[in-house]
Structure 1
């Protein structure tokens, strides 16, 4: 297991022996962070049920401003601490070793909201999934999330999460082998108009005119003009406004 990209690219990560800890695979992390790439620089990232910390460390490596890790299983916690120490990461994180419940209490006291929440409970722990997702879909949980925040759950590919948890709505699922990633964002009724509509600068494929306002659920492919000096900004805008768009094509 290794860091995929960024500051700590190719650095090896420790993991406990045995099957009690199930780290997110390198391949799945690479896929996840390719999707999240436009959002990562300067983001505030939460890694719940963090295990070895591989996901949160990847976020730090790729430019996250701060990562909050929550883990209370001793073998995983020891590996997480070992990985942070080996990479000499000392300031860009907060580690809560009492578990997710204690971390949610801490997050509720932050002066600024978070941008991305990643949760990876044991696949069989249905109550952990529903409890945590329902929390972030509640009034109290929504107050922790930024206006265009994403909540992402890793789970077994044969398991199906609910389409809605309070204000959180399922927007996208990606399967890879035995694992799957489910993306959640604030439902349309909870979003600001800016989040529901695409930037007028973006050319949407499929017969839609430039400048036409497009609900995020209608977006299937997004085309960006590589000759535009602000194409990287447009890419970020599309990712933020349209988290369920399957792909962004730079043309």
Structure 2
């Protein structure tokens, strides 16, 4: 959305993952089911998150505003997620808001996920597939073929996480299989579809982005999304909210 506001000729053409923003607390924090109670533990304290304008930064700032805690919590941005983990371990910050991978690394060091991902901002987009308008117009079949593969990959991540974790390890040796499996379990909501819930949740970021100064105009669905290809590839109901056995 920030890129489109600045003139990039791109569209979101498929989904991928939702609810990938996780709230992490140090040892002093408690796990809470109620969103406002979880965040209230950071009053007069510091939460680290990726750089300004990232999905996690926007989600956390809007989350704090909705809970009436925007003036009570300091949000510190970091250029790299590794620095967030280091700051949390050193006591420089009291919590973190970031990816499932960051949450698993922090959990292994004694911190904890203090709020389920779906409680922060339901159906918030974690990632989707972006395509240039030139590709959409000139090579629609190539795009559709790619989206078929993308849907297959989403299904593998959701339905067979052990196999997916093994493949991640085989391709990226520094990521061990157990770690990959833990990451997938934190937020297992993978699908290529672009249902109304995904689109509506994404567009709910528009006013937040305007208030924060990241964009200077309203964006409509047609400005951000092009759904023709994914509707042909994935015409049936989405799989994001289906419980994995």
TM-score of the superposed pair, with normalisation by structure 2? 0.33
TM-score of the superposed pair, with normalisation by structure 1? 0.32
Whose helix proportion is higher, 1 or 2? 2
Query: Which gives a bigger RCO, structure 1 or 2 (Cα 8 Å, sep 6+)?
Result: 2
